Each structure stands twice: as C-alpha cells, then as structure tokens.
Amino acid sequence: RTRYTGLIDKYRDRLPVHDDTRIISLGEGNTPLIRLNNIPRVIGKEVDIYVKFEGLNPTGSFKDRGMTMAVTRAVEEGSKAIICASTGNTSAAAAAYAARAGITAFVLIPEGKIAMGKLAQAMMHGAVVLQIRGNFDAGMRLVKEVAEAAPVTIVNSINPYRLQGQKTAAFEIVEELGRAPDYHCLPVGNAGNITAHWIGYCEYSSGSGDHVTEACTFCKGHCSYAGGAIVGNRPKMIGYQAAGSAPFMRGAMVDDPDTVATAIRIGHPQSWDQAWKVREESGGWFDECTDEEILAAQKLLAQNEGVFCEPASAASLAGALRDVKNGKIPEGSSIVCTLTGNGLKDPDTAISQCRADGTMLTIDATLDAVRDAILKGMEGN
C-alpha cells in the first residue's frame, strides 16, 4: 500500500484509537523536513539546520495533527459539536475537521487580532464564528466554562488527544534523520506543541512504542508508554516566545500580551507546568524574540530558501539563528525548527512588510518600461 492516508493510519499502534474507530482525516502529517542550504552560509556558521514545514498540512498549520485525533475521538464518543478558543489556526482546523465529520464547530476568536487567511477558513468551512471583545486568554476561560454547561467537546490542546496527534511530528523527524536532532526549536504560545513533541521524542527514544517515565505524566494515560529504557537520543527543546507575549521568560502570566505574531499572542499558557518539565527534562531553555527579529527571520527564510511561513512560526528560526550566532547552540549541531504555519495565512503582514522594499513597481504597459525595470532589477547581481 503506497497511498498516504493520514497520521492516524500511519501511527495507529502509538495512538489512542480502536480497530473500528471511524477516522476523521484530511491526509495530515508527512510534512517535508527541508534542509537549509543557504542560510548557514549567510550567517557564516556550520550547522545542520532543517525546517519542518507544518504549514503544508491540509489547513496550513500543525493543528491538523491534533485535530484529526481530537475530532476522531469526539465523534467516536458521540459528540455533535466541538468548541475552541483560538488565535486563528486552531479555529481553521476545527472548522475543517468538523465539516469533514459532519458536526458543528464553535470558535471563539479575538476581534481584530487574527490573520485574514485563518478567518476566511473558519468562515468558509461553516464554523459558528464568535468574535469576542477580548483576547485569546479570555476566550479560553469562556470555553472551559461553557463546556461544563453545554454539550460541546473542547478541542483546544487541553484535550489530551490533541497532543497525542501532535507528537507524531517528532516520529517523522526521527524516522527521516535516523535519529533525533541535537536541538529542536519551536514557537511557544500555550506550549502544547513543545509538550507534544517531547512526548513523541520520549516514546521514540525508548524503542518500540515505549517511552520514558517522566513524559508519561503529560498524556494522562493515552500514550503507548510501557516503561522502557532510553535507547535513542532526545533533543534539547527550545521554546521561543514573542517578547510582548513571553510569560515563560517573565516566569509569570502576562495579562496584556501583544505581538505582530498574532498566533502566539497568549499570556496565560495552558500547558504551563508541562512546558517547564520539558525544559528541565530535555536540558533546553526558553527565550524571546522581538517582533523585528521575527519578521526579519520570516523574510530571510522566504528570500534565501523559498519557504514562506507565518510570523509566529519564524520565531523558532529567529531564536535558533541567534543562539547559533552567540554559540549557545554549538557549531556542528543538528537543529530542527518547526515552522508551525503557512505564510499565506497572514498576507497582510507579509505585504506591509515588503512594501518599503521597492520589490513592487507600478509601470506603464510598454516594452520599454518592462525592459528598463529588468535592467534596473539586475543591477545588484
């Protein structure tokens, strides 16, 4: 069998599904691990650095990995509706997988603070979109409260099936590289994804479906843990936050988070304790990137490697490159940066960032004007 039918089919023996479970899938997972050929030269450092381009999932973000599991299990348990608070990507994934399953999705989004592509997805897939006059953290609080009172299943990452689906990204990386990388860098909002990756690496490093003790506390018994010893290597996990939304750096919740990277505009992370454990167990660290650093990394990647990710995703690369330059990540290391979402999600930020570059010219529709533009455009080469 060669047809790829999604991550639950692929990793069925490591995921909480039954033989007769009806799988709700859009063919998520199996995303490319792209080796950066040009950027190491640009920064003058010898590192083996890869980007895992999660923006190539069906709805354009890593959320699809978690959503296929969460919606599959919600449907199996008889749920007719799902709900989430979201900075955009979770709402897009929830809307799409609910449409696929034939159930209803309710999504709470912060008014005016989600990227247009994500809003378009949630609306187009037929979710009930509730714009709230409040931020993601307020939405999350409301969702938890309402799920107590109404027959809806929460599909935020506090739903344990979400992390189970998302752990498969680590499986794919180990299978492709033949080992875990030395460092794995991710953007951090709620810190669900960094936790999920650690679960995945732990399971894999202890061999056939087993994983190490500590990580098991994360998954509330849904993992395939059997108490095996660690046989493979595990990466140091590094979480980068946007400077205006960096509770892990502050060591405390942030009440009024802000950043151009709206996906990670989160001040009260849901996986707070788990993420601190991941840092401790893996020997990694948290750091923050300014909006300027994030946007510069997004553009550097787009212009030197042909990979277009959304701003939040570029935090992983921005941070990694800084830590390579300052030697915190030594030369000779292997590094994977997760690019969590597709650049097409947020065209407005991309266009406004490039306007000043003069890469778009308005000219007359004449041969002379086009020829002049070409000659001028070649000058720098």
Binding residue ranges for pyridoxal 5'-phosphate: 89, 189-193, 340
* Window of 124-132, 242-250, 306-314, 321-329 that interacts with ligand F0G by CB under 6 A: 306-314
Tell me the two tokens of residue 81. Answer: 């509706």
Q: How far is Cα 147 from Cα 239, in angstroms, rounded to an integer? A: 30
Q: How far is Cα 368 from Cα 365, in angstroms, rounded to an integer? A: 9
Nearer to ligand F0G, 31 or 340 (CB): 340
| Angle between helix 89-101 and 63-76 (nearest 10) | 40
* Window of 41-49, 209-217, 279-287, 305-313 that interacts with ligand F0G by CB under 6 A: 305-313
Q: How far is Cα 94 from Cα 89, in angstroms, rounded to an integer? A: 8
Q: Segment 159-188, which members bind ligand F0G (CB under 6 A)? A: 187-188
What sign does the CA torsion over 204, 207, 212, 216 have?
Answer: positive
Which x/- pattern, by CB under 6 A, does the window 99-138 give for ligand F0G?
----------------------------------------
Listing DSSP states for 308-341 in one string gives -B-HHHHHHHHHHHHHHHTTSS-TT-EEEEEE-B
Please pick, from the candidates 172, 287, 288, 310, the single residue that binds ligand F0G as defined by CB under 6 A. 310
Nearer to ligand F0G, 254 or 264 (CB): 264
Tell me the two tokens of residue 185. Answer: 């860098």
Residue from 121, 142, 122 nearest 133 by CA: 142
Nearer to ligand F0G, 45 or 289 (CB): 289
The answer to whether 340 contacts ligand F0G (rule: CB under 6 A) is yes
The answer to whether 245 contacts ligand F0G (rule: CB under 6 A) is no
Closest separation between CB of residue 178 and ligand F0G, Å?
Answer: 27
Please pick, from the candidates 193, 259, 298, 333, the single residue that binds ligand F0G as defined by CB under 6 A. 193
Please pick, from the candidates 24, 74, 312, 335, the single residue that binds ligand F0G as defined by CB under 6 A. 312
The answer to whether 264 contacts ligand F0G (rule: CB under 6 A) is yes
Nearer to ligand F0G, 63 or 73 (CB): 63
Please pick, from the candidates 59, 68, 72, 86, the single residue that binds ligand F0G as defined by CB under 6 A. 86
Q: How far is Cα 301 from Cα 291, in angstroms, rounded to an integer? A: 16
Please pick, from the candidates 108, 170, 191, 307, the single residue that binds ligand F0G as defined by CB under 6 A. 191
- Annotated binding-site residues read 89, 189-193, 340
Residue type (1 letter), 374: I
Q: What are the start-end ranges of the E strands in the chain?
A: 33-35, 48-53, 81-85, 104-110, 128-132, 153-154, 183-187, 236-242, 285-289, 334-339
The answer to whether 349 contacts ligand F0G (rule: CB under 6 A) is no
Our CA dihedral for 204, 342, 190, 72, rounded to 10 degrees, sits at -60
Please pick, from the candidates 70, 263, 295, 336, the single residue that binds ligand F0G as defined by CB under 6 A. 263
Please pick, from the candidates 57, 59, 79, 157, the single residue that binds ligand F0G as defined by CB under 6 A. 157
128-132 β-sheet, strand order: 128-132, 104-110, 81-85, 153-154
Task: Determine how β-strand 104-110 pairs with β-strand 128-132.
Answer: parallel
Nearer to ligand F0G, 206 or 262 (CB): 262
Please pick, from the candidates 68, 79, 89, 164, the single residue that binds ligand F0G as defined by CB under 6 A. 89
Cα separations in angstroms, 122 against 116, 186, 289: 10, 25, 29
Please pick, from the candidates 88, 165, 235, 257, the single residue that binds ligand F0G as defined by CB under 6 A. 88
Please pick, from the candidates 164, 190, 206, 298, the single residue that binds ligand F0G as defined by CB under 6 A. 190
Q: Which residues make up the interface to ligand F0G (CB under 6 A)?
A: 61, 63, 86-90, 157, 187-193, 263-264, 310, 312-313, 340-341
